[in-house]
A = this chain, B = another copy of it.
Amino acid sequence: MASAFSPIDGGSATSPGGFSAAAAHAGLKADGALDVALLVSATSCATAGAFTKNALRAAPVIYDAEMLADRPGRTRAVAMNARVANACTGAAGLEAARAMARAAEEAAGLPPHTALVLSTGVIGVPLPVEKVARGLREAAAKLSPTGGADAARAIMTTDTRPKHCAVRLETPTGPIIIGGMAKGAGMIHPDMATLLGVLTTDAVSEPGTLRPFWKRVVDRTFNAISVDGDTSTNDTALFLANGHAGIDPSRDGATWKLFEEAVTEVARTLALAIVEDGEGATKRLEIQIVGAQTEAHAREVGRAIARSTLVKTAIYGGDPNWGRVLAAAGVAGVSLIAERISLQAGTSNGWLTLASGGATALADPAQARAIFEQKAIRLRLDLGLGRAEAVVWTCDLSPDYVRINSDYTS
């Protein structure tokens, strides 16, 4: 069956109708690199946000969460900067986030309280509001429907490449475009890193519908990747729907389902790009958890495996040490019954059983090692407790990660 949606070559957050963007150099990064970006919608967007669970939320996170609680249907712009996270900056930081939003609104000629803000970079350093405002004015002067790629480049910190994409979904009443941009988290100069994701669509929606929809998508994409287990003070994923296409995909069940698949595809593409661009990462591990009682349980078990430094170092070394995978599953805080558990590894012609009944099986060692030496490794853990499942992705832990992360501030 042909897919109902298709990737757009070079697509970005400005691929959906009615969105424009631009970036500027505001003097935050060295060498004149783009460090400030502005994304603007021609009309008000219904917006949903997913924010860090870190108890110490950065000022832009606090600001955006309040905005989306108060006026989730009034978003017109997202202002972004790299290099300074505006985190652990106290009351002055919150005032700086407000000033950054106001600067974006003024620069783009928008009403007050219509801009959201995203910051990423070093923790604990004051945001240079004047520089950022100047950059936003410069960006506002050159907003373009092809500016999404520049915006994605501007929010890079130690990402080695910009991350953006878009898909086109055909519906019975016409096409809908979904676009997005993101930057990486952890294993990428992590104190300058944060997961930032902005998805856009020209579909019609409203905040009450978008909120649970976006939570489902984020749980299966941005929240299903783990790079080094650290949760940034700034992690944010936004979804803006401006209605430019005039089509509300929630009006019929089949279209709504396809729309969710298409949005998930964009978010997953960006999330996997983050995993693959992890600093020091040499391999990707996909962990499928099946047979769980709930999807949340499945995800927790997957995340526990993805967080384990013992699993990640074994993956780095190509070491078929699956006892570590079972041991890591046991720390997820989910009740398990050892006798019901089985673990398999993906091969080019099916699944190889590594353990069953909670006990390690004696798989062919050479075949097992060949699997663990692959660049992309797939494991499937069946908990034998139910029918829910989840997929989690991570990368390996290499000596480069340690070297890169052991000296930043100086």
Q: Report A's interface with B, CB cutoff 8 A.
A: 53-57, 87-93, 122-125, 186, 190-191, 228-233, 307-310, 313-314, 316-324, 326-336, 338-339, 341, 355, 357-360, 365, 369, 397-399, 401-403, 405-410
Contact = CB atoms under 8 A, between A and B. Distances in A.
Contacts of A230: 308-310, 324, 327-328, 331
B88 A338 contact: yes
Contact of A313 (B317, B398, B406): B406
A323 B191 contact: yes
B407 A191 contact: no
A375 B93 CA distance: 34
- CB-based closest 4 A-B pairs: A317-B406, A124-B360, A123-B323, A56-B330
B408 A330 contact: no
A331 B53 contact: yes
Report the copy number of this chain in the oligomer: 2
A232 to B, nearest CB: 7
Contact of A326 (B123, B327, B365): B123
24 contacts: A55-B332, A56-B326, A56-B329, A56-B336, A56-B358, A87-B323, A88-B326, A88-B355, A88-B360, A90-B338, A92-B359, A93-B359, A123-B324, A191-B314, A191-B323, A191-B327, A228-B310, A229-B229, A230-B324, A231-B331, A309-B397, A313-B402, A313-B406, A320-B410
Interface of A is mostly: loop
A298 to B, nearest CB: 14
Given A123-B360, A323-B124, A331-B54, A310 B88 contact: no
Given A55-B335, A359-B92, A365-B410, A402 B316 contact: yes
A310 B53 contact: no
B320 A409 contact: yes
A174 B357 CA distance: 54
A340 to B, nearest CB: 11
Contacts of A314: 191, 405-408
B90 A191 contact: no
Contacts of A323: 87-88, 122-124, 191
Given A54-B327, A327-B233, A330-B55, A408 B339 contact: no
A302 to B, nearest CB: 14
Contacts of A409: 319-321
Given A230-B309, A309-B405, 5 more contacts: A88-B355, A124-B323, A232-B327, A316-B406, A319-B409
A326 B124 contact: yes
Nearest to A317: B406
Contacts of A90: 338-339, 357-359
Nearest to A53: B331
Contact of A91 (B93, B308, B339, B369): B339
Nearest to A328: B230
A304 to B, nearest CB: 10
Contacts of A335: 55
B88 A321 contact: no
Nearest to A397: B402
